[in-house]
Structure 1
Amino acid sequence: MAPPRRLVIVRHAKAEPYADTDAERRLADRGRKDAAAAGAWLKTQEVAPDRALVSGAARTRETWALLAEAAGWHVEADYDDALYGADEDTVLDLLRAADESTGTIAVVGHNPTVGMLAQLLDDGDGDPEAVDSLMLGYPTSAVTVFDVPVPWSRLGPGCATLRAFEVGRG
């Protein structure tokens, strides 16, 4: 029997406005606090990934490190530069390629992609307050937790139930 599947989608925390390149922008002080707050919240949700897909940008790497530490997660992240400029279809393709024995996957990426992906996946049957919050936007340090009742290979629009939504603020 396959384990229940969950998907955690995270937008990177607040970054500094400038660097030599956009991909090199690091987290601002507020971002470091917010990423840790998001991780602490995830710990209360009793969710832990078996796999993590993280954009190769500096701010997403830092977000992952702080979030995972605060959540008590010990999974090694798969850093993927393709996630930096990815659209929702690209992220879905990466998720659909996951081994079916994988229970929970975390994705740390950028807007507008992660916010659009969260809205795209939502089947409308989740927590009404979380659904309302999700529809208001996907700010930095936003986190959604979805239950995924279908195999990873069949993940698509309207295939996941929004369990929780939070914006980490430290």
Structure 2
Amino acid sequence: MSVAEPRRIVLFRHAKADWPQVTDHERPLADRGRTDAAVAGRKLADSGITFDLALCSTSVRTRETWKLAVHELAHRPKTVYEERVYEASPGELIAVLNEVPDDVQNVILIGHNPGVHGVTEILAGTAEDDAREWMNRRGFPAAAFAVVTHEGSWKTLEPGVATLADYWAPSE
């Protein structure tokens, strides 16, 4: 594939987690989270994006979110459970994305706030339609996702070079 073709990155926050007496890393999804993860998966399927790679935090809630969402997709991408995505800052998430091989066109990253919201804002120098306004109004609640496009290699992904193409959040 040519690096001039637009690449798509979906930045997907895990669905709503429960608060049992376990470590933060081991927190499972709440009932609402399981429902919202499946709905988000259907919305991702409706987007028509075929993912080549999924980068998922190792936490229980992100793995459960991805398992429920990917079930809704027509094509199951290669999934890498990446420890560095757990509690990552926007800069750390960009560093992970910079390592994606250039033969990968579309990536979904399943992670946590504030990193997922922050990296979306930092990468998106421009926005299509009212995607940024909608995201600014809603914030980045559990199970929300943003679609960011970028032209160039993964190594050139840096603040301000991408476009916020779409944003979705579950109903409150």
Question: Which interval holds the TM-score relative to the shorter structure?
Answer: over 0.9
Range 101-110 or range 73-82, more displaced? 73-82
Q: CA deviation at 1:62?
A: 0.5
Identity over the aligned pairs, expressed in percent?
35
Task: Give the TM-score, by structure 2 length.
Answer: 0.92
Structure 1 residues 87 and 96, CA, compared in 2 at 3 Å: closer, same or farther? same
Within 5 Å, give how 1:67-78 maps onto structure 2: 67-78=69-80
Asked whether the equivalents of residues 41 and 71 of structure 1 are also in contact (C-alpha less than 8 Å), the reply is no
Unpaired segments ≥5 residues, structure 1:
none
Within 5 Å, give how 1:21-170 maps onto structure 2: 21-124=23-126, 126-136=127-137, 137-169=139-171
Report the RMSD for the aligned CA atoms in angstroms.
1.5
The amino acid across from 1:119 in the alignment is E
Asked whether the equivalents of residues 41 and 168 of structure 1 are also in contact (C-alpha less than 8 Å), the reply is no
Task: Give a deviation string over 1:82-110, Cα, whole Å, max 9, x none.
Answer: 21121111111111111111100110000
Asked whether the equivalents of residues 54 and 64 of structure 1 are also in contact (C-alpha less than 8 Å), the reply is yes
The amino acid across from 1:97 in the alignment is E
Q: Secondary structure in 1 aligned to 2:125? A: coil
Structure 1 stretches of 4+ moved >4 Å: none
Q: CA deviation at 1:26?
A: 0.5
Q: CA deviation at 1:169?
A: 4.6
Q: CA deviation at 1:30?
A: 0.5
- Cα distance in structure 1, aligned partners of 2:26 and 2:171: 23
Count of aligned pairs between the two proteins = 169
Asked whether the equivalents of residues 37 and 169 of structure 1 are also in contact (C-alpha less than 8 Å), the reply is no
The amino acid across from 1:133 in the alignment is W
Q: CA deviation at 1:128?
A: 3.1
Task: Give the TM-score, by structure 1 length.
Answer: 0.94
Unpaired segments ≥5 residues, structure 2:
none
